[in-house]
Amino acid sequence: MSLICSLSNEVPEQPVLSPVSGCIYEKRLIIKYLRESPNDPITGQPLTEEQLIEVKVTPLGKPKPPSATSIPAILKMLQDEWDACMLHSFTLRQQLQTARQELSHVMYQHDAACRVIARLNKEVTAAREALATLKPQAGISQPTAMQYTNDQSIPTIHHGGGDASQAGANASEGMTEEIIQKLQDKASVLTQLRKQRGKHVPEGLTTVDEMKSFRCSATHTALHSASNPGILALDISSKNSSIVITGGNDRQAVVFNRDSEQVVATLKGHQKKVTHVIHHFEEDIAVTASADSSIRVWHIPSAQCLKVLKAHDSAITGLSLHPTGDYVLSSATDNYWALSDLRTGKLITKVQDSTSQRGLTCAQFHPDGIIFGVGTQDSVIKIWDLKECNNVADFPGHAGSINTIAFSENGYYLATAAEDASIKLWDLRKLRNFKTITLEDRYEIRDLVFDQSGMYLGVAGTDVRVYQAKQWDLLKVFNDHTAVATGIRFGSNAKYIASSSIDRSLKFYERLSQE
């Protein structure tokens, strides 16, 4: 068995043993090393030349060196250089090992620092949102009640009334004769107007050929926080189609002006993600619903929360504004639907769907406001009479939970979508399914909407697409989003389309001028 020098990795001519580390060294190499550093090269412990133990081995036979020439001197010089090279190589290996250990330690410290910074940023964001929620209450010395009417775009605040929005959460007032008469009068007016509109196509409505030439004209990705990305809800103002409102995973709702490309207001107050947003038909008021089980009413110009409606004890799954603009319909996973007064914040009625075992998933008023539909996790769409609070019709046929429903503005058609990657069209006059649009396998549908004329049906999900009503032909597919689209709305006269997505973007589609 041959011995190997721990410094040069060569067979030593004069092997010596270090009692400190137990390693074998070439005697001349270790002596040179000890003259520079009196420590064992391997362990770093003190070591002297006297401590070295010579190892008795059979000497290697070497040719006798020639004498009286310069060759021995050359060989001696080469030997010294070789020894120096071996020592330097060993020193470099040690330094490399030390550098690796130090780098590993520094990287660990950097990772720990990044984690601490991320946690602190999250705590700061939560504290700011909590502060924003408390600010409106800090300036009020006593409980207040906020009241506003159809003629007032800015609410008036007076003292001494108590918090009606919280009081209404505990008890419902019921469907009074006054409310029922108001609903009936509005329905009669809307029915008559619809009959008049149905006789002709609205002037200025986008044609089918123009719709086919729509392209993505603008993309906005900075409306919501990037730390918790995703836009979950979308709506467009009927009064001013340049005003768009979105709700996101970041627990905020954002009001955006499409023309100026500026944020009009940021509505902060919800404790969980905002899942539904509605812009009032005539007033600068927004209604938002969240997974925190609350519905909030906002005054957009001041970004102030006017009312907090606590009609449910679980996450809100559906939100719809009555055509009168005074009442809001909501559904939740607790199997209840509720009607609340937008003006007073009080709960009018709350009804449990006893036939549904797994919760409600969406809710939408019929354009007349007398009936409304709700979707269930049991694959059934239920039609309710608002005045009588009775379930008047059921539409089975889907497979999987109902994701979204939409009534056509003509009042005759209902579009529904579920987890079965299909869209079903229902005739409300005959109470039957007359058309089923089957999409690609695993196609996900998040939102359905008819335009104001009832001529187009928009679909948001795996992509964004538009169908022509009555013929139900596919007109256009937009694949601009990089994630699932969550919302779709038409601008006035379908002049443009807006869509939102989990990819944190709000996109607009229209017919570009050069076309």
Task: Tell whether the model's pLDDT for residue 109 goes beyond 90.
Answer: yes
- Phi and psi at residue 249, to the nearest 5°: -65, -20
pTM of the model: 0.67
> Where are the strands (E) in 240-359, listed by range?
243-248, 252-257, 262-268, 274-279, 285-290, 295-299, 304-309, 316-321, 327-332, 336-341, 347-352
HEC secondary structure over 423-453: EEEEECCCCEEEEEEECCCCCCEEEEEECCC
Q: What is the pLDDT of residues 249-297, one digit of tens each?
A: 999 999 999 999 999 999 999 999 999 999 998 899 999 999 999 999 9
CB 484 within 8 A of CB 443: no
Whether residue 134 has pLDDT greater than 70: no
Give the pLDDT confidence of 444-499 residue by residue, as tens digits.
999 999 998 889 999 999 999 999 988 999 999 999 999 999 999 999 999 999 99
| Per-residue pLDDT, 66 | 53
- Of 115-119, 129-133, 251-255, the range with the lowest mean pLDDT is 129-133
CATH number for position 332:
2.130.10.10
Residue 225 included in any domain: yes
The number of CA neighbours under 13 Å toward the Cβ of 265 is 19
Structure confidence by residue, pLDDT tens digits, 5-44:
998 888 888 899 999 999 999 999 999 999 988 999 988 8
What confidence tier does 69 reach under pLDDT thresholds 50, 70, 90? low
Q: Do residue 188 and residue 45 come from a single domain?
A: no
User: What mean pLDDT is reported for the chain?
Assistant: 86
Whether 141 maps to a domain, the answer reads: no
> 151 in a domain, yes or no?
no
pLDDT at 255: 94
Distance CA 104, CA 38 (A): 29
CA distance 22 to 149: 95
Q: What percent of the chain has pLDDT above 70?
A: 89
Write down the pLDDT at residue 61.
57
CA 61/CA 25 separation, integer angstroms: 19
Rounded CA gap, 441 and 341, in Å? 42
Number of structural domains in the chain: 2
Question: What does the pLDDT read at residue 85?
Answer: 92
User: In the block, which residue shows the tokens 């036979």?
Assistant: 61
Whether 337 maps to a domain, the answer reads yes
In a domain, 455, yes or no: yes
Residues 44 and 188 in one domain: no
Residues 397, 259, single domain; the answer is yes
Mean pLDDT of 45-57: 90
pLDDT at residue 393 greater than cutoff 70: yes
Q: In angstroms, rounded to a whole number, what is the distance separating the alpha carbons of residues 276 and 61?
A: 93
| 118 part of a folded domain | no
7: domain range?
1-58
The CA-CA-CA angle for residues 98, 100, 105, to 5°, reads 100
Average pLDDT over every residue of 48-68: 72
Residues 224, 360 within the same domain: yes
Both tokens of residue 154?
């800015």
Residue 259 lies in a domain: yes
The packing angle between helices 27-36 and 71-138, to 10°, is: 50
On the question of pLDDT at 160 being above 50, the answer is: no
Is residue 499 included in any domain, yes or no?
A: yes
